[in-house]
Structure 1
Amino acid sequence: MIPAARTAPARTVPVRTVPVRTAPTRPAPAPGGLRTGTGRAPCHHGELLQGVFLDGAGRRCAGLVTLPMPGPAGRARFRPRPGTAPDDLTVVPEGRTKAARAAVLAVAECARRSGRAACGGELRLTGGVPVGLGMGSSTSDVIAAVRAVADGYGLRLPPDAVARLAVRAELASDPLMLDGRPVLFAQREGRVLEVLGPALPPLVVVGCALGGGSPVDTLSLPARPPAEAGADEVRAFERLRALLRRAVATGDVRLLGEVATASARIGQRVLAHPEFDDLTDVARRVGAAGVQIAHSGSVAGLLFDPAAPGLRHRVRSCVRALDAHGIPATRTFTTTEEIPHGPAHRGGGRPAGPGTARRPARLPAL
């Protein structure tokens, strides 16, 4: 009898499970080819120059130059509801009527451009800055809403189209839909009067809040049609425009500060901030290049040349002096930081301006 062959027990080979990495997917398209869209738009820190200017045809029109501020941005998410009426729009948080109006206008524009049906949906707004401070909160909401709707329709609207929709939605718009270059912008018409140069000179801004930071009701401010501006007044603003153009071309922070201070002083005729003299006195004592004040809010800033000697000491002295006058400092920032547009609206890199090779001093966290 031949004994049965002995078989070795089977070896168990451990199997390594390798996780498969997949790219994040966008939400599935809704009927009609629409998706949930997102949009983003920056805010700003008030104006460097604001007044009445002449356009290329010699016509008087209101115009402004804003001070860019890296960081805070308004964000919007548009979730379409195909089959609903275009004006059937839910807005979160409630009360953002300008952004809601912009979304409805954007739906009509995007439906016309894409050939898809217009519909309502939900618009959800987050981020940004508090309203009423003159930092472009409403325009940021409006532009983010327009971009979110366009993204939902698979489109990217050109800046001039966004500007037209923004003006229709809120009557006057800041140039936050543009690429960051300093422009003289006709805020009631949504068009660029002049590109002043590739970029502002680098600035360090010590922000502060006037009037205790209370919001300003822009609609309550007295408004005068540009056509009623006197010839001397227009000549004064055109002179400031020419000086600002030179400051941008030469990288002259001191000249830019003089223009901003002169514009703020003219704005005092309407805004009448009681702290204005204290603000300009602090700027003089700490060696700031000048001051800038939002034309429709309470935010203000003291402007410094980042290449100035003893910058850290100047900034700290500035904050202490503001505090001594009861003017709360808010944030210190530099204008040379990049302002991102978001993945759906990323433009080219911001062009370098005069003097951008100078590295700003590292600032204390304030």
Structure 2
Amino acid sequence: MTSATRRPMPPDAAARGTAGTGHAACHHGEILQGVFLDERRRPCHGLVTLPMTGRGSTAGFVHRPGSSPDEVTVTPDGRSKARTAAVLAVRECSARLGEEPCGGELTLTGDLPVGLGMGSSTSDVIATVRAVADSWGLLLPPETIARLAVRAEGASDPLMHGSRPLLFAQREGRVLEALGSALPPAVVVGCALGGSEPVDTLALPVLVQDGDLTAYEHLRRMLRRAVTDADTALLGRVSTASARLRQRVLRHQEFPALTGIADSVGAAGVQIAHSGNVAGILFDPRVPGLRRRLRRCARALEREGIASTRTFTTFATPTSEEFPRGRTHLGSHRPTGPDTPRRLSRLPAV
């Protein structure tokens, strides 16, 4: 069992019932996703996400003393994965402390669209686990959160590890390779394909063809070099190649237009959600005439009928790192995002 940090409990916590909060960011799809060799040279499904700060899920959990640990209610309704995560986290935390588990009330808020491939369910699950742990006075390590998230979802994005570029085995909840401290600097013009409609992730087939392992291991080496050298152009080549391979499953009608726009405005490449409709065009912030290129890109997307969403960066700054919220995490300075009800599909234009 991985160690956890315990925070001091207020003296009146037991008398008034214990509450906790947690937060988790989202991502903007993947830079790379496919099949790779693990440390034992076994083929393993893995991915590298494109982190996106400023949005995410916030969870609040309040103990219901004397109830069964399975008695967890969730607001809003329908967040079954988060509810499962709460039950698992209650049992994990109570076992660590040697205390009697109990159920509680889970409340989720956030501003993530569902089904576009931005990790909305994982964000819910991680925020939930952090809130439950916070209510027990614990700060669980990322490895434990990943294990619980995979049990709750069946697969998980690496959001519990923050924004570092990681090759992550999403079905096993473990890091295959830490690629470095940050992705190369990039400006991402976000958009939504497929009419911004949600994608049923669980219904997508898993296609692995002859030669895929060789191709993805080559892209892994390229991405490793891109991170080491802060090479945005190489990052774009990797993400575009991975997106092309994924079109065997997703078959986005707009994908040729997306890559054509990227070429016409001198972008580094494109990236997509490998299990959704969110996509982005990547620019090197150091190229001449960046603002002009971004304006041309926005106009071209509009002409093609592709909904643009927001423009963001991969720049590593103190405020772009993920800092969990909650009493256990006092002292963090992560800016508070809006807590609005979950929308069903469309991202707001920015």
2:254 equivalent to 1:275: yes
* Deviation, structure 1 residue 223: 2.3
> In the alignment, what sits opposite 1:5?
none
Unpaired runs of 5+ residues, structure 2, are: 1-8, 335-348
Q: Give the distance between the partners of 1:117 and 1:271, measured in 2 at CA.
A: 47
Amino acid at match of 1:298: N
Question: Equivalent of 1:330, from 285, 295, 309?
Answer: 309
Matches within 5 A, 1:243-322: 243-322=222-301
Q: Give the distance between the partners of 2:12 and 2:241, measured in 1 at CA.
A: 54
Return the TM-score normalized by structure 2: 0.88
Unpaired runs of 5+ residues, structure 1, are: 1-24, 351-364
Deviant stretches of 4+, over 3 Å: 25-28, 342-350
Q: Give the distance between the partners of 1:345 and 1:257, measured in 2 at CA.
A: 35
Secondary structure, aligned partner of 2:106 = strand
Number of residue pairs matched by the alignment? 323
Over aligned residue pairs, what C-alpha RMSD do you find? 2.0
Whether the 8 Å contact between 1:79 and 1:122 is mirrored in structure 2 is: yes
* Deviation, structure 1 residue 29: 1.5
Secondary structure, aligned partner of 1:86 = coil
1:287-318 Cα offsets, whole Å, 9 max, x none, are 11000000111100000111111010011100
> In the alignment, what sits opposite 1:113?
96
1:135-154 Cα offsets, whole Å, 9 max, x none, are 00000000000000000000
> In the alignment, what sits opposite 2:13?
29
Secondary structure, aligned partner of 2:214 = helix
* Deviation, structure 1 residue 128: 3.8
* Deviation, structure 1 residue 285: 0.3
Matches within 5 A, 1:115-264: 115-224=98-207, 229-230=208-209, 232-264=211-243
Return the TM-score normalized by structure 1: 0.85
> In the alignment, what sits opposite 2:23?
40
Q: Give the distance between the partners of 1:178 and 1:342, measured in 2 at CA.
A: 11
* Deviation, structure 1 residue 181: 1.1
> In the alignment, what sits opposite 1:94?
77
Whether the 8 Å contact between 1:42 and 1:140 is mirrored in structure 2 is: yes
Answer 1 or 2: higher relative contact order, Cα 8 Å, separation at least 6: 2
* Deviation, structure 1 residue 348: 9.4
Amino acid at match of 1:253: T
Amino acid at match of 1:180: S
Whether the 8 Å contact between 2:81 and 2:152 is mirrored in structure 1 is: yes
Q: Percent identity?
A: 63
Q: Give the distance between the partners of 1:217 and 1:27, measured in 2 at CA.
A: 47
* Deviation, structure 1 residue 26: 7.4
Secondary structure, aligned partner of 2:184 = coil
Amino acid at match of 2:214: R
Name the CA shift for 1:347/1:185 in 2 (closer, same or farther; >3 Å): farther
> In the alignment, what sits opposite 1:362?
none
Whether the 8 Å contact between 1:340 and 1:346 is mirrored in structure 2 is: no
Name the CA shift for 1:37/1:349 in 2 (closer, same or farther; >3 Å): closer
Question: Equivalent of 2:44, from 61, 68, 74?
Answer: 61
Whether the 8 Å contact between 1:43 and 1:128 is mirrored in structure 2 is: no
* Deviation, structure 1 residue 34: 5.6
Which of 1 and 2 has greater Rg?
1
Secondary structure, aligned partner of 1:46 = strand
* Deviation, structure 1 residue 179: 3.0
